[in-house]
């Protein structure tokens, strides 16, 4: 009788250890998996419409690429006409206009703001950084100025989306 109790105790210990190892293995595997901000949701391709002579537009595109966006550049002769055709109101104009998914992006909008736009998905035309503020992405400067990223509503009105 004593042998069978010892034998049973050994089997229970082995089973407990196997269960513990399995649990730790599953937990370790789960912790080793990469953490994704939005699982299954890739960043949109950003199509940029710009003048061939504008170097800051290319720098802005490089900023987006460094932040995980795929960028396609289109050189156009008339950026304001491209902006109008896409549907961004002229009062928010800058040196380039872009389409990212269902949204328009006007000017030197930071990549983080575009990512936030796609996380929140508001009903809007898109984002704009009017003019070309020194210190914005693509307009790096030793003397940056504060600027706002605007959320342009479907009615053409805008409100501050982010302050920089």
- Placement of tokens 């595109």 in the chain: 61
Please tell me which residue, 26 or 43, carries the higher pLDDT value: 43
pTM: 0.74
Architecture of domain 46-163: 3-Layer(aba) Sandwich (3.40)
pLDDT bracket for residue 26 (50, 70, 90): very low
Do 122 and 151 form a contact (C-beta atoms < 8 A)? yes
How far apart are the C-alpha atoms of 159 and 115, rounded to whole Å? Answer: 18
Which distant-in-sequence residues (6+ apart) come within 8 Å of 77 by Cβ? 51
Structural domain spans, the chain? 1-31, 46-163
Q: What band does 24 get if pLDDT is binned at 50, 70 and 90?
A: very low
Confidence band (pLDDT; 50, 70, 90) for 6? low
Q: What is the pLDDT of residues 29-78, one digit of tens each?
A: 443 333 334 444 689 999 999 999 988 899 999 999 999 999 999 999 99
Mean pLDDT score across all residues of the chain: 83
């Amino acid at each position: 009788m004593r042998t069978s109790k010892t034998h049973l105790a050994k089997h229970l210990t082995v089973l407990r250890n196997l269960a513990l190892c399995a649990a730790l293995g599953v937990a370790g595997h789960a912790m080793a998996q990469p953490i994704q901000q939005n699982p299954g949701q890739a960043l949109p391709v950003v199509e940029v419409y710009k003048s061939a002579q504008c170097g800051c537009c290319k720098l802005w595109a490089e900023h987006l690429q460094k932040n995980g966006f795929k960028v396609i550049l289109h050189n156009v002769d008339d950026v304001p006409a491209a902006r109008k055709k896409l549907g961004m109101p002229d009062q928010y104009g800058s040196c380039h206009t872009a389409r990212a998914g269902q949204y328009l992006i006007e000017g030197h909008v930071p990549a983080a703001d575009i990512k936030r736009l796609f996380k929140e998905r508001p009903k809007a035309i898109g984002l704009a950084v009017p003019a070309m503020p020194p210190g914005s992405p693509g307009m790096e400067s030793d003397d940056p100025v504060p600027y706002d990223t605007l959320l342009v509503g479907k009615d053409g009105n805008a409100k501050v989306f982010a302050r920089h």
